[in-house]
Amino acid sequence: MTDPFFTRKRKTTGTIPPTSSKKRKGKPTPTISNANDEEILSDDETGLVETDGSITESESERETPAEKRRRLAKQYIESVKNNIGEGEIDAAEIDRDLIAERLKTDALEKTGRAFKEIADTFKFPIDPTSLKSGRHDLAVTCIAIADNFKYFYTASKDCSIKKWDVDTGRKLHEFPGGRKSVKQFDGHTDHVLSLALSSDGKYLASGGADKKINIWNVDDNKFLKCFWQHKDAVTALAFRKGANQLYSASKDRSIKVWNIDELSYVETLYGHQDQVMAIDALFFERCVTVGSGDRTCRLWKIAKESQLVFRAGDKKEVHPGGGLDAVAMIDEDNFLTGSDNGTISLWNVNKKKPVYSYPLSHGSVETFCSGSLKIDNPRWIISLATLRYSNLFASGSWDGQIRLWKIKSGLRSFDLISSIPVLGFINSLSFLTSEKKTYLVIGAGQEHRLGRWERIKEAKNRWKSVEL
């Protein structure tokens, strides 16, 4: 007997003709003449013959949208059953509990409202012997991780991009770099500063100090397109989740939007008064960027062609500066920023000031004396990464420790919970998670990804001149 959960209702008008010219044995097929009545079709009447849950190409062409939805729903339920395990299963209970909960979770994630408090489920501290490593010839500047949990990419100041296997740590492919004097080269001819992978796993985007954005085919490891529209180094890239819409940020103070399905330019966003250092995006058609010298983070609403401006720091604070170098979104309404005065700030899109700020989050390196006053020189925040839609995030500087933080309930503050010893400048961080494992991928080098030692000198002069 067919389970009523899998039946489909179709409103009818007039009389329904029989499905076959042959007479059926038993009770005759009733005719329906009332337009308000409904007909329930069995699996045989749909014309779809099921074997392993798939249909042939010819059957797919004859399939109506309603039939396709029903078939996909049945496959989805079967996958839920397989995850539950062996034994008798109550279909009604699955419908009521498991499926409803799964659909609710998916809907919350796509609307940016999901939030999981999972920081306490991890075992800390992390065993340093569990770390796996691969190498570039020069400092690693950025990383990008595939959503399929199979591989990730790293880029370096040696102008190359490498593809790695997640489980084994083995190098799978390399896109070599070229010399600066080489023109019409299918790759980068200067430091690669940013990487991004599309959520469908088809495209890799890379940006560099050569002002280029290169688009690569992930499956074939082939070069597809080069964009030259930026007038300075491309410092950050981010794909919108669930769509092949790419956002790029540059030292030329602009943000550009690209359609990668059509390999075309869309528009340019202006507003920052200094170099744009980092960018991040989730499902909504918008992105968050941070500017270095203008001390602002901006939420760009692409469809509405508008922006919200959030100003970091206070000129009267003990450690001024506040040039923003890192940003990471927690969900669609909350995000984190890291600044050159060592402060990590938690923001909500409905508030102009930080919800919470943690100064000197990675300590300081030396002290400047001005009479009886002492001013610390904080280590700036180079990188941030969040475990999306959860209360766990990581930060990197150059103090030899990657710090792990727990966001408290209500997203009002956060505390340090553990650290991982890693030497060097932590130029990039990214979480990779599945149902069974969670990885933190780290890009580190002997120098900052932008080589900005002059930034320390600039910050020292600013802090020395502060009047307290």
Q: What is the pLDDT of residue 126?
A: 82
Mean pLDDT score, 184-189: 91
Q: Give phi and psi for 79, each to the nearest 5.
A: -65, -35
Mean pLDDT score across all residues of the chain:
80
- Give the three-class secondary structure for 234: strand
Q: Locate the domains of the chain by residue range.
A: 4-110, 124-464
Under the phi-then-psi rule, with left for phi > 0, alpha for psi from -120 to 50, and beta for the rest, what region is 322? Answer: left
What are the tens digits of pLDDT across the range 206-264?
999 999 999 999 999 999 999 999 999 999 999 999 899 999 999 999 999 999 999 99
**Which phi and psi angles does 169 have, rounded to 5°?**
75, 15
Distance CA 197, CA 1 (A): 47
The H or E element that residue 177 is part of is none
Q: What is the pLDDT of residue 45?
A: 40
Alpha helices in 11-149 (DSSP H): 57-62, 65-84, 91-93, 100-110
Q: Which residue has the tokens 């959503």?
A: 147
The model's confidence at residue 184, banded by pLDDT at 50, 70 and 90, is confident
Residue 322: the pLDDT is 67
Sequence length of the chain is 468
3-state secondary structure of 90: coil
What stretch of H or E contains 154?
Answer: strand 151-156
E strands in 302-424: 306-311, 324-329, 334-339, 344-348, 356-358, 364-370, 373-378, 383-386, 392-396, 401-407, 414-421
Is the torsion defined by CA of 60, 64, 67, 69 positive or negative? Answer: positive
Superfamily of domain 124-464: YVTN repeat-like/Quinoprotein amine dehydrogenase (2.130.10.10)
Q: Using CA atoms, how far apart are residues 400 and 444, in angstroms rounded to an integer? A: 10
> For residues 329, 332, 333 and 339, what is the CA-based torsion angle, rounded to 10 degrees?
20
Residues 6+ apart with CB under 8 A from 124: 404, 417, 418
What letter would DSSP give residue 316?
T
Q: What is the mean pLDDT of residues 389-396?
A: 95
- Among candidate residues 147, 115, 333, the one with its CA nearest the CA of residue 242: 147
Question: Would you say the C-alpha torsion 86, 88, 93, 95 has a positive or negative sign?
Answer: positive
